[in-house]
Structure 1
Amino acid sequence: MKLKCIIIDDEQYAIDALVAYVSKMPNLEVFATYVNPLAALTNIKKEDQIDFIFLDIEMPEITGIELAKSLRDKTKFLIFTTAHTGYALDAFDLNASQYLLKPISFAKFATTIDYILKDLTINKPSTKNELLFIKADSKNSYHSIDPKEIIYIEAAKNYAIVFTAKEKYITHMGLSHIEAVLDLNDFIRVNKSNIIAKNAIKKIEGNTIILKNAKTLQIGEVYKSAFQEFLNSSLWKASS
């Protein structure tokens, strides 16, 4: 199954170039393109999660940075494509997967995609194997983790920490890469640094989540909408 891509850029020639690049990648396909960023915002909000969003930054009416704040929870991988270097810190504050400077060669594009996909060294559990394997510190070394035991995952500089009830595991994997292979029926991203197990939630007080191990986390602004949707779908409602 190919990974769905959305391209947003106010210049059609830039969109055309990325469409051509995506068509050359055997595991990618273009799902939609938008020259109007406001139309992108309206339509993508209605979609299920998209695998990749390629996003320009300097656009009329709304910038790519502003747009990403509303759409970050809708995509596994967010890649900014821009001619400007000055937004890199803002981009990575939004947990961007990559920041590509225009003009973008196909070699650079392909290398970036291959790096992101090959870095998914966590294997999804299957019906036959319910364990996750995450890459450890040393070469060819992996941790075996039962996903049912995970309480939360935290990004820390250039690595992530997986917390279970009994142990914690360090992996040099990006949080977006981890999120991409977790079962989102069981886990949810709550801010730029944390993914939590839904069944590990003990209490919610405003924007604060208290987990069963007493860890407290704040719900990030970008992730409030998705978390509220999860909360609404999980509420017990009195019958009328």
Structure 2
Amino acid sequence: MITNRTILVTIMHSNNETGVIQPIEDIAEICHKHGVLCHTDASQSVGKVPIDVRELGVDFLTIAGHKLYAPKGIGALYTRNGIAIEPLVHGAGHELGRRAGTENVIFDVALGKACEVAKKGLQNHTIKVLADYFYAGLQDIFGNRIKLNGDWERRLPNTLNISFIGYEGSKLLVLLGEDFAASTGSACHSGVVTISPILKAMNVPYEIARGAVRFSLGKYTTKEELDIVLKRLKDIHLKSIENSDEII
């Protein structure tokens, strides 16, 4: 897809719906062979998996603070030495001349501290253990009526994109209750379910994609909370079987 007009390629480090980690090192190498700069949005990944800009070989990398428990409204852009970019806001020399305006020092410090804390926690595999436990619980309840969307190995430890076959993801969330927060990659308009463009690009069949739900675990998620969700899902599934009725 690179042409003589291409100046920049930008790819997520990990997909925000499936958690699948992209081959950024290979992409950056291809870009540089063609004299093109490479950017990756690592917002989903930083704080969950090790990130090293030198190993990735990228020219730019972005971070969103709230994804690793810093305050909302702070982020960071890594720029490789030797690259000059147009200022976002002209008029002053703040942030190395890239963005005029008074710097938010408190949030800057908060982001730095959040990164320090996250780095220490990278060796803690509790979230992955809980995610694996949750997925095993779903398999016990639904059997072959669930499908993991995306790669099992090359993904973020906290993200599970699960299709509930025979169900519609958004209606399933409603039945789970308002005290439960997850997201679907589909939307219903005038009785027609529009599936996630991500799952569509992955060639996930419509009947499977329509039942997709993304579960994201955090460092405060507990096994007890997951057990509550599993219990609710089991009750919903058993009721569906008893009524011989699919949620559509």
Normalised by the shorter chain, which TM-score bucket? Answer: under 0.3
Larger strand share, 1 or 2: 1
Normalising by the residue count of structure 2, what TM-score does the alignment of the two structures yield?
0.24
Normalising by the residue count of structure 1, what TM-score does the alignment of the two structures yield?
0.25
Higher relative contact order (CA 8 A, sep 6+): 2
